[in-house]
Chain A
């Protein structure tokens, strides 16, 4: 089955991973800007990173027939540095017309601080001004519920934003209803220990019917499994679910959400 991974960090993966993903059916992916594992020292560091996301990764992906898209921002962790964050946010519009840029992301909260929330709100201003879709990172572990509620407060408090153009990622059992109930798209991240397993994701698909629900691997430089979406496909088939339901979550829903972006031009396999 062809599938799309809507959240994966290929800058931190070797080229062999592109080949493996292509062999497992991945036809497209979207890569939000994230924390590289260290705090960058200057806006030029982000400029080079944005060039990697918009020039290098699409070329690497294309070698294996994968269409690569990206989202731009300064991530929640580095948002604690307000001065640097504002320099990066000022630079983002330079890149918004690049061919593979879908919108602003992955913005969000990390430890749910005032500085993080301040920069989150300033990203919303950029998204609203440039009419960009948004991809949201919700915090890890004990910070997730509090941070998700704070994020939803900020999103629903901004009348310029259309929930149908916002994907709130890394939902789990205690946040999924809060997100879907307010009309946003929701992403489940199949990531060991700190997030969700394919089995728990399958449970949430069964409970919600898969409406406005996506699944991703968030493969990155930490312990992660870029092939996690095929694991979910396998688990759903094992439970006897229809190909139509599985395709809805791993292919149709990502396509529908990405189509909210003016830069999304996808060539399906024929």
Chain B
């Protein structure tokens, strides 16, 4: 039932992403923004996460787009 209720909203959001990627590619120099660009790689990885069976996709996406935590930060900052 949730799938039925949310289908059109998800469809709209996916179209928005698809159109944005098309726009990036169509822009001058757009063909150069390929998998070598780190932001583009993150987007591609995010799309793989979405397509997976993982039930914690949102949390995984958050971690993908996050700076890593270093447990030694206090020592490095001398605090």
Contact = CB atoms under 8 A, between A and B. Distances in A.
Given A117-B79, A121-B79, A200-B58, A174 B73 contact: no
B58 A146 contact: no
A146 B70 CA distance: 8
Contacts of A143: 66-67
Interface in B37-79: 56, 58-59, 62-63, 65-70, 73-74, 77-79
B38 to A, nearest CB: 12
Interface residues on B, range: 10 to 19
Contacts of A15: none
A176 to B, nearest CB: 9
Contacts, number: 44
A146 B74 CA distance: 12
Contacts of B70: 146
A141 interface: yes
Given A118-B79, A173-B58, A141 B73 contact: no
Given A153-B74, A173-B58, A200-B58, A145 B79 contact: no
Contacts of A174: 59, 62-63, 66
A-side interface mostly = helix
Interface residues on A, range: 20 to 34
Contact of B69 (A114, A146, A200): A146
A203 B58 CA distance: 10
Contact of A145 (B58, B69, B74): B69
A145 B63 contact: yes
B69 A173 contact: no
Contact of B79 (A114, A141, A173, A200): A114
A175 B78 CA distance: 25
A149 interface: yes
Nearest to B69: A149
A151 to B, nearest CB: 11
Contacts of B73: 150, 153
19 contacts: A112-B67, A114-B78, A114-B79, A121-B79, A141-B65, A144-B62, A144-B66, A145-B62, A145-B63, A145-B66, A145-B67, A145-B69, A146-B66, A146-B67, A146-B68, A149-B69, A153-B74, A175-B62, A203-B58
Ranked 8 nearest A-B pairs via Cβ: A174-B62, A145-B66, A173-B59, A149-B69, A114-B77, A173-B58, A146-B67, A146-B69
Interface of B: 56, 58-59, 62-63, 65-70, 73-74, 77-79
Given A141-B65, A145-B62, A173-B62, 18 more contacts: A112-B67, A114-B77, A114-B79, A117-B77, A142-B65, A143-B66, A144-B66, A145-B66, A145-B67, A145-B68, A145-B69, A146-B69, A146-B70, A149-B69, A173-B58, A174-B59, A174-B62, A175-B62
